[in-house]
Chains A and B, each alone.
Chain A
Amino acid sequence: MIVLAYILLILAGAFLLYMTFRTNDRRYIYLAVAFYVIFPVVLTMQLPIDISPESQQLYDAIAALPDSSAVMLTFDYYASTLAETEPMSRAVLHHMFKKNCRVVTMTTIPLGGPSISERVTRDLAEEYGKEYGVDYVNLGYKANYVAVLKGMGSSIKAIYPADNSGTPLDEIPLMAEIKNYDDLDFICVIADNGVVEYWMSIVNAQYGIKIGSGVTAVMAPKIYAYVGSGQMTGLLGGMKGAADYEKLVGKPDAAIKGMAAQSLVHLFIIFAVIVGNVIYIVERRRGKGRV
């Protein structure tokens, strides 16, 4: 049944591509992409996932931390990229909680950042029976990220006198043990913007703390430079990176489900590009023949 549905889907794609060529209207392509995105969500299909070396590197770095290490997880992304970034946060947080890490979370995003981090951490903390203030803390948002990133090097309390819900840091037991970057063993930055480069140039370069990251697929080629040079310890690139990590921690979720849609859309684009090129070459030859 599923196979039949997929055959129909392929035929529909071919028809829509034919219509694009006939009418020169790009909206047929949009319609085809919509089909390929929605269909696998309705008819779920599990695909085998091969782990990228950069995802494995991030996993290994967190796996190598001693139990109950202090780590930081950032939620530096807007609600617009939730589909790509939230699965990364969840997968990494699963790993951190599994390892009994003490987790400090924060965000440099004013619009939605604090509520996303609050929702994700509380959700997973419940699953692992973690206690707020002892096992994890949500620092929330503070303006001017350059000053925040620099300031936390000397004192986290100076930048965040209180946590996201307004509780003074002095009243939170976990924060009595974590004063600044020196007390952290690892930072994982999940971001959809250039702030990840500030984490590297300010926190990694100047305080020498290990940083791994998860970024959107569009940003990944640029951030590869940091992994290649050995400055960054592991990278999750786009939804594939998130799917890798979900597989590594054994918690298949939204990213693994999304792989089928992403596969189909990629294959459709490749197919469209090939067909477009064949037509282009044929027309060019015909044109030459006429001359």
Chain B
Amino acid sequence: MNRLRPVWTLLLGLLITLLLFTVASAQTESDGAFRVDRLNALIFMALFSIVILIYTRWAKSGKKLFIRKINGLDEVEEAVGRATEMGKPVLFIPGLQEIDEIETIAAISILGRVAKITARYDTPLMVPVRYPMVMAAGQEVVEQAYIEEGKPDAYNKDIVRYVAGEQFAFTATVNGIMMRDRPATNIFMGAFFAESLLLAETGNAAGSIQIAGTAQPSQLPFFIAACDYTLMGEELYAASAYLSHEPLLLGGLKGQDWMKIILVLSILIGTILLSFGVGDWFYDLYKSV
């Protein structure tokens, strides 16, 4: 990881330069080159980055970090094992968003871990996707997983395949796969929309074990109703750290927790101050001008 040190230094350096630039330019209006109205966001972002980097460094130095149990992720291996025993495939859907969506990237990370397990046990894996770019990234990850498990010959390019670009055409295709191929395990990770219940309910009718994870709050109730385990919100982003137990990734989670504490405190302070009618200045700190 030493090779990454210059990158960190560069990031911090650039952030500090930006801060200095802001102070030096001392603009009072928001129509200059620099958006003074977004200074609050810049300070928060710098603080956030620094806290995460500090914890990542601590983790690197060997400090043990605790991560709470996430049932849905613990069950992934179990669920793939069940598919192996039944001789049926595992179906993995990395959401219905493009690769530029961070939820999709989190899903692709989890796909890598799932592919390693399916490669290890020679369990068939099916990954239908909605976007060609997600397909390219998914193929890369799955191929790497099969190579790392020493089974490059078992890898087939069509494990990850593009099925349809339209939301409900994709849903119809996947529902068809569920009813015809009867996968033993369905894993839905990433950004889902109105199709969440259509997919999960069909999987439930087909008798599959289902694990879902999404950061879309409006779809969580549907997954909770129809799946066996559901990862909520940030649990999805924590998945790669949780599954890999890589200390560097766990460090990031710890930093994130601290930022959440800062946010909760801000909300509490703001609520109290505003309730007593003396919090306008505090409210303005968080507002875009």
Q: Does A205 contact B (CB under 8 A)?
A: yes
Q: Does B167 contact A (CB under 8 A)?
A: yes
Picked from B167, B219, B288, the residue with its CB within 8 Å of the CB of A78 is B167
State the interface size on chain B (CB cutoff 8 A): 10
Q: Which residue of B lies closest to A220 (CB)?
A: B218
Q: Does B217 contact A (CB under 8 A)?
A: yes
Picked from B168, B193, B218, B288, the residue with its CB within 8 Å of the CB of A206 is B288
* A111 to B167 Cα, complex, angstroms: 11
Do B218 and A80 have beta carbons less than 8 Å apart?
Answer: no
**A117, chain B: closest CB distance, angstroms:** 19
* A205 to B168 Cα, complex, angstroms: 32
Q: Does A286 contact B (CB under 8 A)?
A: no
Q: Does B205 contact A (CB under 8 A)?
A: yes
Q: Does B166 contact A (CB under 8 A)?
A: yes
With known contacts A26-B205, A218-B194, A219-B218, A205–B288 Cβ distance under 8 A: yes
Q: List CB contacts (< 8 Å) of B147-174 with chain A.
A: 166-168
With known contacts A219-B218, A221-B218, A111–B288 Cβ distance under 8 A: no
Q: Which chain B residues border A219 with CB–CB below 8 Å?
A: 218
Contact mask for chain A residues 1-37; partner B; CB cutoff 8 A; 1 contact, 0 none: 0000000000000000000000000100000000000
Q: Which residue of A lies closest to B218 (CB)?
A: A222
Contact mask for chain B residues 48-91; partner A; CB cutoff 8 A; 1 contact, 0 none: 00000000000000000000000000000000000000000000
* A104 to B218 Cα, complex, angstroms: 30
Contact mask for chain B residues 157-199; partner A; CB cutoff 8 A; 1 contact, 0 none: 0000000001110000000000000000000000001100000
Q: List CB contacts (< 8 Å) of B127-150 with chain A.
A: none
Q: Does A74 contact B (CB under 8 A)?
A: no
* A216 to B194 Cα, complex, angstroms: 10
**A194, chain B: closest CB distance, angstroms:** 8
Q: List CB contacts (< 8 Å) of B195-219 with chain A.
A: 205, 217-219
Picked from B167, B205, B219, B288, the residue with its CB within 8 Å of the CB of A80 is B167
Q: Which residue of A lies closest to B191 (CB)?
A: A194
* A280 to B167 Cα, complex, angstroms: 37
**A147, chain B: closest CB distance, angstroms:** 13
Q: Does A263 contact B (CB under 8 A)?
A: no
* A111 to B288 Cα, complex, angstroms: 35
Q: Does A46 contact B (CB under 8 A)?
A: no
**B171, chain A: closest CB distance, angstroms:** 10
Contact mask for chain A residues 173-215; partner B; CB cutoff 8 A; 1 contact, 0 none: 0000000000000000000110000000000011000000000
Q: List CB contacts (< 8 Å) of B263-289 with chain A.
A: 288
Contact mask for chain A residues 77-97; partner B; CB cutoff 8 A; 1 contact, 0 none: 010110000000000000000
Q: Which residue of B lies closest to A26 (CB)?
A: B205
**B87, chain A: closest CB distance, angstroms:** 26
Q: Which chain B residues border A205 with CB–CB below 8 Å?
A: 288
Q: A80-B168, A111-B166, A218-B218 are in contact. List 16 more A-B contacts (CB 8 A).
A: A26-B205, A78-B167, A80-B167, A80-B194, A81-B194, A192-B194, A193-B193, A205-B288, A206-B288, A216-B194, A218-B219, A219-B218, A221-B217, A221-B218, A222-B217, A222-B218
| 10 closest cross-chain pairs (CB), A and B | A222-B218, A218-B218, A222-B217, A219-B218, A80-B168, A205-B288, A218-B194, A221-B218, A193-B193, A111-B166
